[in-house]
Amino acid sequence: RIDRTWFVTDERGNTTECLQKIWLKHITLANVTFPPSRDGFAAPALNCDEDPNDFTISGQPTVEGIPIENSPDCEIGVVYSDQIINICPPAGYSVLRTWTAVDFCNGQISSKLQIIKIEDKTPPSIAPVDDITVGTDGFLCTGTVDLPQAETSDDCSAVTVTPTWLYGSGFGPFAGVPEGTYVVTYKATDACGNSATTTMRVTVTDASPPSAICTAFLQASLSAGGVGYINAGTVDGGSFDNCGPVTLAISRDDSAFVQTLLVTCDDIGAPLPVTLRVTDALGLENFCEAAVTVRDFLKPNLTCPADVTLTCLQDFNDLQLTGLASASDNCTLQSLDFTDVVNIQPCNTGFVTRQWKATDAEGNTKICAQQIAVQVVSDVTVSFPANVTVSACADPSATLPPATGEPVTNGKYCSPLSVTYSDQIFTSALPPACYRIFRSWQVTDFCIYDPNNDSIGVLKHTQIIDIVDDTPPVLALPADITLNADFPDCTAQVTLDDATATDCSDQISISNNGIYAAAAGANASGIYPLGVHQVVFTATDNCGNTAQQTLNITVQDLLPPKALCRNGVVELDSSGAATLDATLLDNGSSDHCTPSANLSFTVTPQNFSCQNIGFQIVTLTVTDAAGNAATCTATVSVTDPTNACQPPPPTTFNIEGSVRTEKGVSVAEIPLTLLGDGFLANAECAADGHYIFEDVPGNNYFTLKPANNAKWLNGLTTFDLVLISKHILGLDTLDSPYKLIAADANRSGTITTFDIVQFRRVILGISDTVPGNTSWRFVDADFSFPDPANPFATLFPEQKIFNTLSFSQMGQDFIGVKIGDLNNSTDATDPRSPQDTLILYAPVEKLESGEILELPFYLKNWQQLEGFQFELQLDEKKAAIQKVEFAKPEVFSDANLVSKPDGKVAVSWNNPATEEALAHDSLLFTLFLEMREQAVSDEIIFINPERIRPEAYRPGEDLPAGIALEFAAEPAASVDGLSILPVRPNPFVDETALPFVLADAAELTLTLSDVSGQVVYERKKLFSAGQNEWRIDQQDLPGAGAYCYRLALPNGLNRGGLVILTGL
């Protein structure tokens, strides 16, 4: 629907509006009416002057009487193809036109044949032919007749004309025709055999005038007076008569015939037409035409102005200075102009050769030359600046021009003068000045300058500038520096930038007092020992002003000492206490920079009591003079030689161990229960799989049992069902007792197809658990299976029993078996980005609310699969699942697909190894959706990876292939020259690529939106023709999840499937 609001505004600005609602009706192939045949039966045939490609005449498909136009706004497109059958071409033929209508919404096609017959039943038109009279041939009494052509016309085809008379048919020539009058019949026939006739008369008579022959090319030259003459005999090219002599005369412009014609300058130009009249003895006349070209071959008269000499300050282009040439011609002077050959040097001096040219109307030219000399002029005066005294520190620019003055030039000269200076500084000067600048000025006129004689073109002057300075320099030091000492000499190579100073004078000396500096100047770099060194820099200018600053250089020892320990003995005194001397544990500790005697030692712990009797781990800390410390551990034996301590025997103990898979991977968050007589305790495995029960009372019977029945789907995929199926069929048996236990879904002690059924119910979400079993089983790690190929032959221990606990139990480990996980993918952190992606293809369909959408899903490029799984998510606001139909229920059925009330469609299939299999590019299933809103199929359903990872499994490949859902008219959708290829990889972690092919270079728009339809990314880029790719980075998206992509050309759209960011 289109809501169109109309606004009306009067001349005073008052406005009112109204709303017009325009409803766009959806049309289908059933609404299309094809045009009837124009074959003379269903409808009249077309006349040959009617165009069968004019649909207003021949007809075209319509909907409710309105022609169908191909446009993106209409769901119906129409094309046609023609086959031509010629009857009497080009006027008579039949067109077999096949009309084809396509419904772009569902891909349905409807065709119909239309026969269009084009006829020609109208005879041609032939115009009356004028009668002719033919004279006799020379020296004969008969004539030769050439019949004239007849003018004909026909609406549809070419016309053939045949004249017939006494002397035959055709147009002749017919020679030897006697005098007399004859009737000739003309017959005109068109391509379809329709004909018409007319007649004319031919009369042969004896009336031969003389033959007039004119000369082809004639020229008449004009004299200096501008006139010329043409004689009749000059024009004659050999005129004659068969019976006697002829007389000649000429005429122009229809004037009287004369013997001689006069021509003037006005006749120059286009050839002059003249007529030659030839008269025989009987007064019979004949004429011929000739063209006479009147030419003026004389050059114009030209006089150049006199040569002149100018100065460099004058403009040689000024004709008032250089003069004008004079010219004349016998007819018309066309132009008088000049060109210059300029040889002017940089000082604007030299020579100009001016070539004057006069041209008349005939193009005759005459040339003369004028010489223009340009000479140098130099009359320069200079006022040089006076001597000055300045304080440069008040303003550093005070010693520079223009503050100290500049030369002022006057006079005349050919090019800009060169003004330069050079300074010479003298440190001795009369007080109060501290130094003096001798500034040598030079003004040069290079137009007259002689490098061998500097008295020509050069003016010089020396200006004296005295500088007063009582401001000390400003020092700039490198930043304070802290370095680590090098070993083994405990010194550091210090590399510094030069200290710098600014002052009114550039005569500054800088020194430093560093005793370790390699030089005493502006750079204090050198080798420095440990410690903090203060280096003082002093800057002195040539006026005696000084400035000082201090640079701090710190060389520090950051390398800790080497701590060496030895074990020792601590004896408790009679009070049951002892203090350990740390130096007793030193085993020769050392340091790079601190002598061993100056190292300090501390030990932790240092004090011991009766509770510490036995072996204790202590830490010895060794610290050097710079505060760096290192530690080592030692074992001390705490003894009670005086029996001051009589500890009671222990009454509680610890039980600890770990839970790991058969591959040694730690299993976290596994609950364990310790049960004894009157005792119950619980623990849980940490992230490293370790558990511990502390303070367990001794001399008691205990049972330790881990148990977990959570997260059944963790690690369980259709690939595990593939492995179980191969084991059952004997194709690839499971190679460990733990995998066999994991394959026993119902804990029956056998592995059968029923286990596959139970696991698939969990994958499809039909059940959260498998009855009679738990998601994890745990085997005592100390147990060895008597028959690893049949772990069910004997009962294997799934708990540990302690009959009489009299000491702590370490290493009480279990092997965790995740039921259903045969490839150890439980809690995999590897995103397993596939190197390939298989395509689940569905067509783009657009439906209205209330309609039923039959949405088929096809396998695209799925070959040699062992299994696959994925879950579709339907937008429940826009559609609801009514039913599901399976293409091959004997291979893929409701045992492999479950439709849930929340709009999810779970799919799990593995090759049952029957004779039937899923064919390449075949239909898998069809969803029947009841539309709740108007929508397009690619907007309402997508693959949801949150619960089931979309994967496909192929023989011999460790990594699964990804699965992507794509919507298009065909598997590689093409819209106006755009073909989209599958996204690789999909799902992805960091980056993926959308490949596509363009017929021509174009600007594309990529739009990404989340499952709610919210646009999260939109960009435009220009791509060249051929295969390209658009890379999508995880930073372009707000977070993990599924996103719809749409790639658009300026004149069309192509919607694809999803890109899935795992976020791992």
Host H or E run for residue 310:
strand 308-311
Q: So what's the pLDDT on residue 915?
A: 44
Question: What pLDDT shows up at residue 859?
Answer: 81
**Tens of pLDDT along 753-763?**
899 989 989 98
Mean pLDDT of 488-493: 88
Q: How many CB atoms lie within 10 A of CB 186?
A: 24
Do 351 and 285 fall within a single domain?
no
Domain presence at residue 1055: yes
CATH number of the domain residue 617 falls in: 2.60.40
Let me know whether 726 and 814 are in one domain.
Answer: yes
Q: Is the model's pLDDT at 94 over the cut of 60?
A: yes
Q: Residue 946: pLDDT above 90?
A: no
Is residue 1025 within 8 A of residue 998, CB to CB? The reply is yes
Can you give the CATH number for the domain in which 171 is found?
2.60.40.60
Are 109 and 141 found together in one domain? no
C-alpha span between 505 and 625 (Å, rounded): 49
Within a domain: residue 803? yes
DSSP 720-752: HHHHHHHHHHTSS---SHHHHHHH-TT-SSS--
pLDDT bucket at 830, cuts 50 / 70 / 90 = very low
Q: Is residue 919 part of a domain?
A: yes
Cβ-contact 413, 380 below 8 angstroms: yes
- Is the model's pLDDT at 914 over the cut of 60? no
pLDDT, one tens digit per residue, over 664-683 is 999 999 999 999 988 899 99
**Residue 82 reports pLDDT greater than 70:** yes
Tokens 């006057």: give the residue.
Answer: 410
Interval 142-153: pLDDT, tens: 788 999 999 999
Nearest to residue 273, comparing CAs of 205, 218, 226, 314? 218
Neighbours of 656 (CB within 10 A): 16
Band (577; pLDDT cuts 50, 70, 90): very high
Shared domain check, 950 and 875: yes
pTM for the whole thing? 0.37
Check which CATH number belongs to the domain holding 963 and give it.
2.60.40.3080
Q: Provide the domain count of the chain.
A: 9
Residues 933 and 1048 in one domain: yes
Question: What pLDDT was estimated at residue 1054?
Answer: 55
The CATH number assigned to the domain holding 482 equals 2.60.40.10
How does DSSP classify residue 268?
B
| Res 124 pLDDT > 70 | yes
Collapsing DSSP states into helix, strand and coil, what is residue 108? coil
175 and 222 belong to one structural domain: no
Q: State which of 355, 375, 395 marks the end of a domain.
A: 375
Output DSSP code: residue 809. Answer: B
Give the residue among 972, 929, 938, 683 at the shortest CA–CA distance from 814: 683
Query: Do both 841 and 934 map to the same domain?
Result: yes
Report d(CA 947, CA 397) in Å as an integer.
Answer: 79
Return the structure tokens found at 64.
Answer: 């409710």
Computed over its alpha carbons, how large is the radius of gyration of the chain? 58
**563 assigned to some structural domain:** no
Domain span holding position 461 = 379-467
Question: 848 pLDDT band (50/70/90 cuts)?
Answer: confident
Residue 9 has pLDDT above 70, yes or no: yes
Mean pLDDT of 418-425: 88
Q: Which residue has the tokens 């030359």?
A: 369
Instruction: Please tell me the distance from the alpha carbon of residue 445 to that of residue 442, in angstroms, as a whole number.
Output: 10
DSSP state of 453: B
- Please indicate, yes or no, whether residues 898 and 1032 belong to a single structural domain of this protein: yes
Question: Which of 686 and 1063 is assigned the larger pLDDT?
Answer: 686
Those residues whose C-beta lies under 8 Å from the C-beta of residue 506, and which sit 6 or more positions away, are none
Res 113 pLDDT > 60: yes
For the chain, give the mean pLDDT: 86
The pLDDT confidence band at residue 973, using thresholds 50, 70 and 90, is very low
- What span, in angstroms and rounded, lies between the C-alpha atoms of 8 and 54? 40
Q: Which residue has the higher pLDDT, 922 or 644?
A: 644
**Where a domain ends, among 467, 489, 514?**
467
Residue 371 is predicted with a pLDDT of: 94
**Across 100-114, 216-230, 336-350, 1044-1058, least confident range:** 1044-1058
In a domain, 645, yes or no: no
DSSP H stretches of helix in 201-318 = 232-235
Residues 532 and 461 in one domain: no
Q: Is 923 a domain residue?
A: yes
Query: Can you give the pLDDT at residue 1064?
Result: 46
Given a cut of 70, whether residue 199 has pLDDT beyond it is yes
Give residues with Cβ within 8 angstroms of 462, minimum separation 6: 438, 439, 440, 441
Give the model's confidence band at 742: pLDDT under 50 very low, under 70 low, under 90 confident, else very high: very high
C-alpha–C-alpha distance, residues 967 and 839, integer Å: 10
Q: Is 995 within the bounds of a domain?
A: yes
Taking the C-alpha atoms of residue 993 and residue 689, their distance in angstroms, rounded to an integer, is 39
Same domain, 799 and 685: yes
Residues 479 and 540 occupy one common structural domain = yes
Instruction: Check residues 433 and 655 and name the one with the higher pLDDT.
Output: 655
**With 0-12 CB in 10 A as exposed, 13-18 as middle and 19+ as buried, what is 412?**
exposed
Whether 995 and 880 share a structural domain: yes
**Averaged pLDDT for residues 640-668:** 87
The pLDDT value recorded for residue 698 is: 87
* The two structure tokens encoding residue 365: 């030219």
Q: Is residue 824 part of a domain?
A: no
Last residue of a domain, one of 276, 295, 314: 295
- pLDDT-based confidence at 128, cuts 50/70/90? very high
